[in-house]
Every structure is written in C-alpha cells, then in structure tokens.
Amino acid sequence: MRTRTRWIWALVGLAVFASSCVSNAQQDALNPQGPYAQKSYDLLVPVFWVATAVFVVVQGLLIFFVVRYRRRKDRPAQLPPQIHGNNRLEIAWTILPALILAGVAVPTVTTIFDLAREPEGNVLEVSVMGHQWWWEFDYPAEGINTANELHIPTGRPVYLTLCAVGLGYEDKPTPSECQPGPPDGDTPAAVGDGVIHSFWVPELAGTQDVVPGQANTLVIQADEPGRYSGQCKEFCGLAHAYMKFAVVAHSPTDYEAWLRDQQADAVMPQPGSLAATGMDVFLNGQCIACHAVQGLEDPSGNPVVANGGPDLTHFASRECFAGCWLQNADAEELARWLDDPAAVKQGSWMPDYGLTPDEISALVAYLQSLT
Amino acid sequence: MASVSVPTEGRSRGLFRRPTATTGAWSWITTVDHKKIGILYGVTAFAFFIVGGTEALLIRLQLAQPNQEILSPSVYNEIFTMHGITMVFLVVMPLSAAFVNYLVPLMIGARDVAFPRLNAFSYWAFLFAGIFIYSSWFLGGAPNGGWFGYAPNAVLDPTRGMTFYAIGLLLAGVASMVSAVNIAVTILNMRAPGMTLFRMPVFAWMSLVVQFLLAFSLPVITVALVELLFDKRFGTHFFDSVAGGDPVLWQHLFWLFGHPEVYILVLPAMGIVSEILPVFSRKPLFGYQFVVFSGIAIGFIGFGVWVHHMYAVGLGPIANTAFGISTMIIAIPTGVKIFNWLGTMWKGDLTFPTPMLFSIGFVSMFVIGGLSGVTHSVVPSDYQQTDTYYVVAHFHYVLFGGSIFGLFAGMHFWWPKVFGRKLSEGLGKATFWTMLVGFNLTFGPMHVLGLQGMPRRIQTYPEELGLTFYNLVSTIGAFTIAVAVLVFLVNVVLTQRKPRGEDADPWDARTLEWLTTSPPPEHNFDEIPTVHALDEAWHRKYTETEDGHVLPVPAGGSGSEPAHGGGHAIHMPSPSYYPLVASLGLLFFGYGLIFSWWLAGAGAVVLLAGLYGWALEPSAE
Amino acid sequence: MQEPVAVHAFESEHEDTSTGLPNTKLAMWIFLASDVLLFGALITSYVVYRGRSVVGPYPNDVFDIPYTSVSSFVLLASSLTMVLALSSIQRGDLPRMRLWLLATALLGLTFVGGQVYEFTTFYEEGLSLTTNLFGTTFYVLTGFHGTHVAIGILMLLSVFSLSFGGQITQRDSLTVELVGLYWHFVDIVWIVIFTVVYLVPTGP
C-alpha cells in the first residue's frame, strides 16, 4: 500500500478508535436516565448522524480528489481547464444545506419550548442554591434543607428554582428569590461571593446557569432509583472543580422514608460519649456561626440556624461533603477538613479555627452520629 | 529602473530630527514600512505562540491524571486564562495581522498602507499590551477569571489579575482599532489602476471584511471592559445584582464582540487557503464571487448570533430559538466556502508541497469543527454540551485546525517572498504530519470527554468519572504538537542560514506580489502594475482560449507593460519614532491606572507629546 | 502616499484614490461609524438599567431640564460656528476661520463647564458614581461624551494655533473639515443622549 494511503487509513483508524466511548462514565450525557435528559439525547443522536453523513461526504470528496487528481507518472504536469465556477452548483449547495438545517430546526424549536414549560402533575419543588463552592437544597413544602445531595423520588418531575447565593459587592448578600432574608436584619446569610454557577446532572437533564439576581428554573426527573453524579459547569472561582453534587433517586416509598428521617430533629448523642463532647465543641466553638442543626439550642437557648454554611442536621445520612468531594464516612478525611479546610480545598471560605486534635476527633464523632 | 529618493523639505519641529535609517536595529524601531511591520508582528506573535503553547502543555500535564496538584487551583486558573488570552489576542490576531500587513499592499498593487506611522503605532501598542498583560505575573497576579472574564467573578476576584486583563485588552483593542481603519482605507482607496473590488484577491477581500468586523465589534468590548474596570476600581454597579444590576449584561457585551471576533480569527486564514489551493491545483478558485459574498455574509450574520454562547443563561425559549436559528443560518455561507474549495481542487493538477498540505488540512479540520458547531446550534443538545470539553474540542478544531493550520500554510507559502528562500520541504512535511496527528490526538478525544461528563475550566477531576484515559491521550497529543512546532523552528533556523535566492515566483502563483522581487524592494514595485483581470499575475503568464484551455504566454510577449509613470523618483514615507513614543505613553497610562495617578498623568503627557510630534514632524528629513 | 493629499476648496476635484475620497476623510468616517457602536453600547447600558436603581436619587430628583436644554443649545450652536469656520477656510479667509474656530472651542468649553456645574450639583444632591445604577450609568455615559468633547476642543485649539504659524492654508481645508466631521458627530451623539436620558419620561 502506498505510504500516503497507509497514513490515511491510520488516521481513519485513529478517528474511529477515538470516537469509541468512555467505558465507565458517570456523568454521561449519552446515557439519559430520565425524560428530560432523553429529550436532549433524542435530538443529539439524529443530528450526530446527519453531521457524520456530511463529514463522510466532504472528507470523502477531499480524499478522492487528492488521490484522483494528483500529479503522478500517468498524469504528468498539465494546465487543467480553468473552470471558474458553476452557478447551478452554487445554488444547489446553498439550498441543500439550508433544507437539512430547516429539517433539524423544527424538532429543535419544539424541544426548546417543551423543555421550558413548567411541568404538570405531581411536581416536587426544590430550591437549589449555588454557593461558593457547594450546593444547598431547600424543600419549602417539606420543610427540610440539605447540602451536596439532592434526594428525589423516581417518576415525578422535580421543578428546581436555581439561585446564586453569596455576598455581592460591599459584602451585601445577593438578592435571591430562593433565599428568604437573613435571620436578623444585619447579619448576612451568605458566605463567599455571589457568582454565576451552573447546575448540571447530565444523566437527568441539560444545564441551566445559576445567576445572581435571577431565578432560573430547571426540571429533572429520574426513571430509576440510583445515584446520579453532577457538578458545577460555569467557572466560579478557585474551587470550581470541587463543586460537585449527587442526585439520589429513591422509589416513592423509600423517598417518603427518607423525607421523614430528614424532617426529624437531630439525633442527640449519648451523654458522656465522645460524640457528646463533640456536640459541646460544636456549640461553644464557632461552628454555629454558620451551620444549622435542627433541634439544637445554643448556650443562650436560641435554635442553631443556618447562616451561610451547609445544614448539618443529618450529616451522617449523606455520603459526601465539601462540595461532594470528600466522604462523610471517612473519619480521616473529615479530620483533615476540620483541621484546615483551605488546605484541602483551596479558597474554601470555611475558616481554620485552630482546633486541637482532641477537639477534632470529638467533632468527627459528633458529626458521624448525626444520621 | 526608478530610483528611490528621500526629498528634504520642511524644518524639523520635534526635539530630534526625523530618523532616516533603513538598515540596522534602529531601523526596525522607527520603521513605517508595512513589510517590516508585518515581520515584526509575525515574530512577536510566534513568540507568544510558544508561550501560550507552554501554558497549554502545563494544563495538559495537570489534567493527564486525576487528582493531581502539579498546578494549584489558583495557578491553574491563571494559566488557563492566560492561555486563552494569549492565543486569541496575542497569537492568532497578530499573526493574521502579519499577513494582512505584509501582503495586502502588495496584492492590491500599492506601495504601502494608507497611514504608515499609524501602522507602526498599531504594532507597538500590541507589543506593549502583551508585555503589560504578562507583567501581571510579577505585579500581583495574572488574570485568572478566564479569557471571557464573566462578572461577577471577575469583579469580585481580590487579586489584581482581572484589572490587568481589562486594561491590557483595552490597550490591545486600541492597536487593532486603528489598524482596522488603516487597512480598510488602504483596501478601499489604494488599489492599483484597473483593480476593481471584484478583481481583488480573496485574501484582500477577507481582510477587508475583518477590518469592518473589528471596527464594529471592538467598541462594544471597550465599553464592557471599561465597565468591568470601573466596577473593580471605582465601585460602580454595572454588574452588581445587589444594586439592581445584571451580571448577564457583561455576557451580552462580551459576546457581541466575542462572536464577530471568532470570524476575525478565521477569515484571514480562509483567505490564505483561498489563495493557496488554486496555485497548487493550477486552476482558479472555484466560484470566486460566491466565496467573496459568503465572507461578507458571514461578517454580517456574525453580529446576529452572539446569544449562542448563552443558551443556558436563562433568557427564555424565544431568545434561544431566535439565536438557534440564526446560528444554523450562518452555517450555510460557511458550507459554501468549503464546497468551493473542493471545487477548486476538482480536476486540478494537484501537487502537495507543505503549503498545500496545510491548506487541505485546514479544509479537513475546519469541517469537523464546523459540524460540531452545527450540533451546538441545536439548543437542547447544547444544554448538555455547553461549558464542557465538547466546546473546547469544537473551537480548537476551528481555531487550531482552522486558523493555525491556515497560518502555517501561509508561512510556508510566502516565506520565499518575504525572505528570499523556501523553507525546507522535508522538514515542512514532517511539521505538517506531526502536527496533524498531534492535533487530532489532543482534541479529538475531547468531544467524548465533554459529552461524558467533563466540564470546562476545572483544575482536576476525580478518578470515578472515568475521564482518565482520554485525558492522558490528549496530553500525549499536546506534546506531539510541541514536537511539530520544534521541527518548524528548526526549519526556520536552518532556512535562514541559507543564502538568499533570486526567484520572484517559485510557486507559479497568481497574485501581484509574485510579480516583484523576493523580497520586494522598499517601494514594492518599480512600476505599479495595471490590472486587467482577477489573478492578474497568472494572466500575464498564461492566456486562456475560448474553451478554457490554457497556454503559457511566450517569454517577453504581451505580458510586459509600457512603463507606468516610470522614471521619476518614488517617495517613500520616512521612518518615525513618534508611533513608539505615543504607544509608550499609553503603556505608562495603563500602569498608572493601577498603581499611581501621577504615572497615569505622565503617560497621558507622553501620549499627547507623541501625537503632537507625529502630527507636526516634517514628511522627511 | 502617507500625507493627506493636498486638496482644493471643493471635493469634486480629482482625488487619485480608488473611491475618490481622500484617505483621511474615509478614515474619519470609518472611525465615526465605530464610535456609533461605542456610544450605542453605553446608551444601551443606561437604558437597560433605567428604573432599576434600588436606592435614589432618581433622575427626576436631580434633572433640571431647562438648564440642560440651554447647554444643549450651546453645543448645537457650536456646530453652526464649526460650519462657518470650514466655509471660511474653503474661501481662503484665514482670519474668519480663526474666529469661528475659537468660537466653536469656547462654546464647547461652555458646554463642558455647564456639565461640570451640573454634575457638581448632582453630587451635592447625593448622586455619585457609586450611589446607584443611575449614577453609575449616567456618569460613565456622559463622561465618555464629555471626554470626546474635550478632545474635540483640543483639536480645535490646535488647528487654531497652528494657523498662526502658516501651517494651515486654504489647501488644508480638509483638516478643518475632518475636525468638523468629528465635532458634528459629538454633537449628534449629545442630541441622542439628551433625548434618551433627559427627555424620555421614566417612571417615578
């Protein structure tokens, strides 16, 4: 085989190989697991094939012309006919692509409007707050608030209202429909800057951005129970890569059970246990400045409410924390985080409080008791 | 043979006499010759290409494996931001400007551009803008908010980086803006006798469209950057949602510039390819008028698609639909160009020296990038694709496989004209094939990575996402590209050591620059040619019979023209140092905006002094 | 050719450029076209944010339409004097040109002075650059315009003083014409700003 032809086949082979998919992708837009992701996918696939057909035609012609019209022994140097153009061809190759695009445009437009419509039926409404650099989930009707994991029932549309939370200019919290005003007039209920994020769980839906001052909406729905990986897609600063989350879909009965567990107050530790010591550290230290635990009271008798950090009431019921990057069940990771958050996640707004190793192990025990 | 004389007239009003040097280092600093300026642009842009490429290699090293900490998040954010800024503003734009500057006057039969000192000013302002932006590494931190600098993140970032970004790009914008006016006037006003607009080479046409794109898009980003600068420096509220402002306003203003910008980045390369394909097919560009009109159409429609960068922002289904459709529409003139390039090769007498390889590579790679672009216009699919590596794949296919390949084609093609010797063919072929393989290895897998879960602008990723293998392949590809660039540099060094040749037309080409010597004299042509047809140079060598057959014109035949105004002295513009002075003033002003109002004031004074000296210096010493 | 080609009084004279327009005039038109987009983006920012300030003062609290109408008229009058300056030099009447150029510059200075006074008053009434969206967009928009006027005044005074040194003659009426084009453009932009910002009624 001639060298050039060999190279061409090698390149084609490489292209085919390269187009084979990642084997164990977890955030896979090509693996829709719900009707809304399915709609994007159902457009992606046929358009991909149309594009492939065009690709084959154009590259094929290119290769064919290169081979057929090259100068070679039986086709020596010559001055070929100086063809200047062909108006009919010009019209044809203007109209044909236009027709193909028109064909693609129709389902595109209908799907745009379809995806923008408010869902009907037994809709679950959740407010999603994008912080630097973690996700907060608030269920207004159910009265619960979680972080890092969005639990939903299968088979029901989940209508998400997306808000960016943080401090804007002059350290004032960014206005947000999702977040009611700060607990008391002056203290901002926000930590970190209010910047644009993007909520993306590809197996369940395409993205929508999370913009300060705006309340965007997104509908997701899972067909099957499972854990669906997602992360922030819009560059949002230092720890953008570390702003993941998971959507955990339960069967309807399991979801109801989960909901009841979440609505309960926090588990109180056994008196005298390491966890109880941890609770004391938690209440008397700076933790309650930002973190909420339902059912706890601070030394002055006030309930411990959220003020910029994730709600920790049922911390141990979740698998991941710190932007869903670390594991709650891993005591060592938890200890490292409590010791120096910014060393684990550069830019983290959670301060290093200089906790002693004893305080840290007590806290770990307490947090891991909050099922 | 006409002689070049420099007339003495007028008294010197400036502090120093107007410079006269035409050789040596000082001549490069005071030059107003479009050819020297083109070379300056080219060398500087290529140096920035090496820097931007190194930044890319660092990114690829960091991403080759999951959970690495070769670059911390803060450094990584600076590196990927600078990579984008460098490649867009300090490489592709000035490298294209190198070709536009060097070739357009030659191609239209002019002796220089309309405003030679303004041309020099553009170069110096560009160089200083690049130095300014890069000096930020040492002065408080490099830009770290992405080349797109979205608010509020860019405003709220506590380092100086995005302030350097705003001012640096404003400086670069001034350079491009005055250049746009200069080249547009040159093309419209200084064509040789007989060169109607439709006898102009396609490269000149694409350059003209680009200058208008620049003239109309740069003001919009100027406003955006000023608003960003004011928000950061003075506490205004342009993008402050707390005060009722809208961060999305930044995106609108940025992309109103940013989308025409991508056509600014690719049209010159398309022009280059439109010149090279006919030469090595030995037949004219197929459908010349259609290629020209499609370029103009792309320019116009290019102002109507900007929201396709913002589908996920939440503007609503009506806006998304309108811009989805306009984005599909712009695919049509792009396709027209591709088919016409294919038509050029059809039934040609094809040979494949390096310029032709890169040009064919351009067509091939650009089609892939264009097709992935069409998939972006399908808005619901874009909800998945946007902000992932799929987009990174798309724009690298059109900007690297497109623009950079086209610019490499141009470098190999016009090297003999500019420097009097051809680049080595063997090394050129090695450059091409290594680059083609490396490029596809780097960016091909990114289509898959994007669709299967990898967002953009992330410093690392966890192992469980399954992204490791293709990231590693991509990194290997990136280093392969580096090898190709090294081969090219070796080629350049070895070639420049060879003695200069005498060949005015080594490729048997079609346009006017091949009529003059290699390299051209300072005055470009001894006699300005009179133009009778498109591809005038070709028609002086070959005549067409009625049935389209081509015959060489006998030597010394009707190709030679009676002397057109020949015999009297040709006045060429004298060198000047005021463009350098004025741009230095701008540079000081830029630093002053960050560090000290006194410095800003001094910069303004130097700028004004430069401008006045420029306006009042005699036309020659 | 790098110098502006010496032109005579009337443009219909033969110009050896492909379009027949002198290079510098074509350049000025293209530059002014781009400047339209500059002001377009600034005015758009103003309009998009109109009515969205969270705190006052608001436009109706500070605007003094009669006052600004007078200063707008001053600027408009300066366009008239500019036209008179151009026609003077086209006739070769240098003293008259100097008179009208000076008048134009002085009227421009009056306009700018009027704005300085106006903005000082606004500032004392509580409207600064950073008070609210209105202050932000208003001052940046009018500030850009004022800077353009200032540059125009600089050009007018430069041509004025150069004319004493024999640098500006009847052959150089193009230079005056170019300054005039710029000046009229700045005036037209003001008419748009005055209409959109001051005159178009907004909510409370």
What is the ipTM, given to two decimal places? 0.93
Highest mean pLDDT: which range of A290-294, A305-309, B50-54: B50-54
Burial class (CB in 10 A: 0-12, 13-18, 19+), B275: buried
In a domain, residue B600? The reply is no
- pLDDT at residue A177, rounded to an integer: 78
- pLDDT at residue C202, rounded to an integer: 74
Examine the pLDDT at B425 and tell me if it is beyond 80: yes
Lowest mean pLDDT among B406-420, B571-585, C157-171: C157-171
Q: Domain of C51?
A: 23-199
Look at residue A126 and give its three-state secondary structure.
Answer: strand
- Residues A282 and A241 both lie in one domain: no
Calpha distance B409→B416 (Å, rounded): 13
Q: What is the pLDDT of residues A210-236, one digit of tens each?
A: 999 999 999 999 999 999 999 999 999
In a domain, residue C105? The reply is yes
Round the average pLDDT of chain A to a whole number and report it.
Answer: 91
- Residues A278 and A258 both lie in one domain: no
Calpha distance B203→B219 (Å, rounded): 25
Judge: B230–C136 Cβ closer than 8 Å, yes or no: yes
Q: How confident is the model at residue C3 (pLDDT cuts 50, 70, 90)?
A: very low
Bridge partners (DSSP) of residue A245 are A230
pLDDT mean over A176-191:
66
Q: In chain A, pLDDT over 70 holds for what percent of residues?
A: 91
* CATH number of the domain residue A314 falls in: 2.60.40.420
* CATH number of the domain residue C102 falls in: 1.20.120.80
Entry pTM: 0.94
Examine the pLDDT at B119 and tell me if it is beyond 90: yes
In a domain, residue C103? The reply is yes
Examine the pLDDT at A66 and tell me if it is beyond 60: yes
Calpha distance A33→A203 (Å, rounded): 5
- Residues A330 and A204 both lie in one domain: no
Examine the pLDDT at B564 and tell me if it is beyond 70: no
- Residues A220 and A323 both lie in one domain: no
Sequence-distant contacts of A248-253: CB under 8 A, at least 24 apart = A248/A149, A248/A150, A248/A151, A248/A152, A249/A151, A249/A152, A249/A153, A249/A154, A249/A222, A249/A224, A249/A225, A250/A151, A250/A152, A250/A153, A250/A154, A250/A225, A251/A153, A251/A154, A251/A225, A252/A153, A252/A154, A252/A155, A252/A156
In a domain, residue C12? The reply is no
Tokens of B347: 């039934």
Which of C137, A53, A199, A234 lies closest to B240 in space, CA to CA? C137
Judge: B152–A212 Cβ closer than 8 Å, yes or no: yes
Q: How confident is the model at residue A183 (pLDDT cuts 50, 70, 90)?
A: low
Q: How confident is the model at residue C15 (pLDDT cuts 50, 70, 90)?
A: confident
In a domain, residue B583? The reply is no
Lowest mean pLDDT among A166-175, B129-138, B422-431, B552-561: B552-561
Tokens of B535: 């591809």
Strands A149-153 and A244-250: parallel
Judge: C129–B230 Cβ closer than 8 Å, yes or no: yes
- Residues A137 and A244 both lie in one domain: yes
- Residues A133 and A252 both lie in one domain: yes
Judge: B153–A193 Cβ closer than 8 Å, yes or no: yes
- pLDDT at residue B562, rounded to an integer: 41
Examine the pLDDT at B11 and tell me if it is beyond 90: no
- pLDDT at residue B97, rounded to an integer: 98
In a domain, residue A302? The reply is yes
Kindly state the helix (H) or strand (E) to which residue A327 belongs, with its residue range.
strand A326-327
Task: Search chain B and give the residue with CA nearest C134.
Answer: B237
In a domain, residue C125? The reply is yes
pLDDT mean over B563-589:
83
Interface check for B29 against chain A (CB to CB < 8 A): the answer is no
- Residues A150 and A250 both lie in one domain: yes
Q: How confident is the model at residue B5 (pLDDT cuts 50, 70, 90)?
A: very low
Q: What is the pLDDT of residues B230-274, one digit of tens each?
A: 999 999 999 999 999 999 999 999 999 999 999 999 999 999 999
- pLDDT at residue A304, rounded to an integer: 85
Judge: B152–A39 Cβ closer than 8 Å, yes or no: no
Q: Domain of A335?
A: 274-367
- Residues A283 and A348 both lie in one domain: yes
* Nearest-CB residue to C129 (from B112, B236, B242): B236
Q: What crossing angle do the helices spanning B202-234 and B93-107 adopt, rounded to 10°?
A: 140
* CATH number of the domain residue B410 falls in: 1.20.210.10
CB B449 within 8 A of CB B389: yes
In a domain, residue B200? The reply is yes
Cα-based angle B540, B546, B551 (whole degrees, multiple of 5): 40
Number of domains in chain A: 2
Judge: B189–C19 Cβ closer than 8 Å, yes or no: yes
In a domain, residue C13? The reply is no
- Residues A257 and A131 both lie in one domain: yes
Number of domains in chain C: 1
Give me the residues of B, 360-389, that contact A with CB < 8 A.
360, 363-364, 367-368, 371-372, 374-375, 377-388
Number of domains in chain B: 1
Q: Domain of B463?
A: 33-573
Burial class (CB in 10 A: 0-12, 13-18, 19+), B188: buried
Shortest CA gap B216–chain C (Å): 5
CA Rg value for chain B: 25
Q: How confident is the model at residue B559 (pLDDT cuts 50, 70, 90)?
A: very low
Q: How confident is the model at residue B567 (pLDDT cuts 50, 70, 90)?
A: very low
Whether the CA torsion B116, B117, B122, B124 is positive or negative: it is: positive
Which one of A227, A262, A297 terminates a domain? A262
Burial class (CB in 10 A: 0-12, 13-18, 19+), A284: exposed
Which of A50, A171, A151 lies closest to A99 in space, CA to CA? A50
Q: Which chains touch B (3 or more CB pairs under 8 A)?
A: A, C
- pLDDT at residue B551, rounded to an integer: 83
Judge: C129–B253 Cβ closer than 8 Å, yes or no: no
Buried b (16+ CB within 10 A) or exposed e, B35-49: bbbbbbbbebbbebb
Examine the pLDDT at C35 and tell me if it is beyond 90: yes
Which one of A262, A290, A319 terminates a domain? A262
In a domain, residue C4? The reply is no
Burial class (CB in 10 A: 0-12, 13-18, 19+), C167: middle
CB B400 within 8 A of CB B84: no
Q: What is the pLDDT of residues B506-550, one digit of tens each?
A: 999 999 999 999 999 999 999 999 999 999 999 999 987 777 677
Examine the pLDDT at A176 and tell me if it is beyond 80: no
pLDDT mean over C132-147:
97
Calpha distance A99→B331 (Å, rounded): 12
Mutate to test the interface with B, among A167, A220, A234 (most CBs of B within 10 A): A234
Q: How confident is the model at residue A301 (pLDDT cuts 50, 70, 90)?
A: confident
Kindly state the helix (H) or strand (E) to which residue C101 belongs, with its residue range.
helix C94-124
Q: How confident is the model at residue A7 (pLDDT cuts 50, 70, 90)?
A: low
Which of B443, B511, B510, B507 lies closest to B478 in space, CA to CA? B443
- pLDDT at residue C86, rounded to an integer: 96
Whether the CA torsion A139, A145, A148, A149 is positive or negative: it is: negative
In a domain, residue C130? The reply is yes
- Residues A238 and A139 both lie in one domain: yes
- pLDDT at residue A302, rounded to an integer: 83
**Amino acid letter, A225:** P
In a domain, residue A313? The reply is yes
In a domain, residue B508? The reply is yes
In a domain, residue C3? The reply is no
**Dihedral pair phi/psi, residue A103, rounded to 5°:** -60, -40
Which one of A206, A232, A262 terminates a domain? A262
Q: Which residues of C touch B530 (CB under 8 A)?
A: none
In a domain, residue B588? The reply is no
Task: Search chain A and give the residue with CA nearest B322.
Answer: A109
